[in-house]
A and B are shown apart, each in its own frame.
Chain A
Amino acid sequence: MSSRERILARVRRALADVPADEPPVRDSGGGFADSHGVGPTLEVLEDRLTDYRALVRRVAADRIAEEVAASLERRGASRVVVPAGLPREWLSASSAAWLTDTAEEPVPLGDLDGADGVVTACAVAVAETGTIVLDGGPDQGRRAITLVPDYHLCVVRADQVVDGVPQAVRLLDPARPLTWISGPSATSDIELDRVEGVHGPRTLEVLLVEPTS
């Protein structure tokens, strides 16, 4: 008998008490809230991100290029990684040198390590928990590019922000590799003191694009 068969047989034997007619699927009971009514979505997101010591700025939709350029300049970032599908107009006001990453022609690891930062968009953001989710879409790129550089500048559009975790889970596609980011890399392993910055980007900066309305 293979271990697979052995384990499955042991599981079945262990469950002898479960009635044969008990339905093997469960209606997701629900009954819990989509979010917890903590306030206006964008304000809550900004508050939570700031709480994690991310840098956050609210920007007008027609000023993204200027704000990206200003952020990179303040940071002193001149060699910057971008995923191939990032809107090029966002980069038009900056004089940084762009390292464009694609799945076919990935930026080598050493160059990622040597870059000053990375600029991406996101898939979804969750206000209540201050979470930004990347799903590897064309304007977010391979997971490595938002991990290895020490500075991540992320552009979040107002229409991508939901209030609570359940809403985000429903919008996300599990077939894609997802990275949920809630603030810069941190550890509490030394006397439970939260210290920002271990292996992931030590600075997370978020440009929160106001709705155009």
Chain B
Amino acid sequence: MSGTFLGMPPFPEAARDAVNDSRLRHNLRKATHTIRDRRAAVVDEMGADWQRLRAEGAAVKEHTLRHLDRYLEQLEESVERAGGRVHWASDAAEANAIVTDLVKATGETDVVKVKSMATQEIELNDALARAGITAYETDLAELIVQLGEDLPSHILVPAIHLGRAQIREIFLEQMAEWGVPAPPGLTDDPRALAEAARVHLRERFLRTRTAISGANFAVADTGTLVVLESEGNGRMCLTLPQTLISVVGIEKIVPTWSDLEVFMQLLPRSSTGERMNPYTSTWTGVTPGDGPQEFHLVLLDNGRTDVLADTVGRQALRCIRCSACLNTCPVYERTGGHSYGSVYPGPIGAILTPQLHGMSSEVDEALPYASSLCGACYEVCPVAIDIPEVLVHLREEVAASPGHAGERALMAGAEAVLSSPRALDAVQRAAGLGRGAVPRHLPGMAGAWTDTRDIPEVPAESFRQWWNKRGKGNQ
């Protein structure tokens, strides 16, 4: 079974280990820089229209959140009108119980799954396993993570921390246990690895009669669900089975079909850095004679209404999970996704996880400090979430909580990543200059910290150049 984030050490400790792992650092650096450059190219070619789309995307999501009750009811009505059934789940346990019962009702013990953050968040696979149901992940990276009994480390590319040689080993050792074995003599050529995955899953797709998915968007006025993907495993899961169960966070709603004019431009360019992802599927309820004839939508709260209640933190619910903020983050690049101890890593994870959990642990409390507040995440966010603003807001909450040394957490988090507090100063300062939205003086405990530090001159070279020169950025 898959691993679990439970019992993870808080960010500073986990990050220190990650930073010391040179192979991980190399994989991450290569991957994040590749995808960053690709994104920049396809965003640039949109010219001034990009900022207009970004503003529109943010406005649509913000409006939806401010009237979420109305849109939830409208979505429910639209889906049911089109022949789907809607279920409501307050928390992970309830969502897992609903899905388990729905699968049991089909009489099946195997389900295929298309990558979904919501089902990872509620640890659905483990819940199904306890009920004797095996969930097969079908997204290549999810498959790698599942076979390797590993944890996802990135929203979009969950196996980003693994290189091709490691993937080959996992396939050779584990595929046979789950189904069709890897071919003997499998090489680590990505083409050969993709082919092995195709063969491994082919028969499963043709045979399995129940599928579980998430959704990128749920359109309130039409009841349409939207899934963007690359490989075609999504299409397989959404098309071939008899029964489809989609677990969707209540924040995934957009009001109208025409809002997709905006999001179908923002999301692919921000996430994979492509003008368009290879496949997008949309479906509205049930279509007689085409695709699943039974469709269930499970609407998931699981802490989201708590996030909604925080007028500063609320904006985190605009997130369309593109992962641009991870790819651009100097802290993520060095620590990787596992350090964040959550299925939502990177800058968005640092603001979303503690809010969803209600800062209930040391891990949650450390997360708002897993940042240099450089603001790069805000710049790339297609729905303009001011992540630094929310981070500062959450730090104030941590600092105000009884018995907590805010500065200690801040120092520990920074030190783990950047090896010296001076380095943190440099990043914070250099990036802060490029961006008006982060206050120069931070409020609360963090403010006390910045007040007492003499901030060094802005380095003439970029932080990355400086890092490379120190021989830490390479290999």
Contacts and interface: CB of A to CB of B under 8 A. Distances in A.
A200 B231 contact: yes
B205 to A, nearest CB: 7
A178 B282 contact: yes
Contacts of B89: 3
Interface stretch (B4-12, B303-311, B407-415, B440-448): B303-311
Interface string A181-211: 1111111111111010111110000000000
Contacts of B470: none
Highest count of chain B CB atoms <10 Å: which of A7, A10, A36, A197: A7
A11 B317 CA distance: 13
B404 interface: no
Contacts of A12: 69
Given A169-B261, A175-B284, A199-B235, A7 B305 contact: yes
Interface stretch (B124-132, B249-257, B459-467): B249-257
B164 A190 contact: yes
A200 B281 contact: no
Contacts of A192: 30-31, 34-35, 157, 160
Interface residues of B, number: 98
A186 B397 CA distance: 44
Interface stretch (B47-55, B175-183, B341-349, B421-429): B47-55
Q: Tell me the dominant secondary structure on chain B's binding face.
A: helix
B449 interface: no
A88 interface: no
A121 B442 CA distance: 58
B236 interface: yes
Nearest to A109: B206
A32 B48 CA distance: 9
Nearest to B67: A24
Given A109-B206, A175-B82, A195-B194, A185 B305 contact: no
B265 interface: yes
A24 to B, nearest CB: 5
Nearest to B71: A24
Interface size class of A (residues with CB under 8 A): 35 or more
Interface stretch (A62-70, A127-135, A153-161): A127-135
Given A189-B157, A190-B167, A104 B287 contact: no
A181 B232 CA distance: 10
Contacts of B278: 52, 181-186, 200
B301 A147 contact: no
Given A24-B67, A166-B261, A189-B157, A197 B194 contact: yes
A130 B290 contact: no
A40 interface: no
A33 B261 CA distance: 10
A12 B66 CA distance: 9
B161 to A, nearest CB: 11
A44 to B, nearest CB: 10
Interface of A: 2-4, 6-8, 10-15, 17-18, 22, 24-26, 28-33, 36, 38, 48, 52, 103-104, 106, 109-110, 113, 126, 128-131, 136, 142-144, 147-148, 165-166, 169-170, 174-193, 195, 197-201
24 contacts: A3-B89, A13-B309, A14-B305, A28-B256, A31-B56, A32-B53, A32-B262, A38-B45, A126-B276, A143-B290, A165-B265, A174-B282, A175-B284, A177-B290, A180-B276, A180-B282, A182-B276, A189-B141, A190-B164, A190-B167, A192-B30, A192-B160, A195-B191, A198-B140
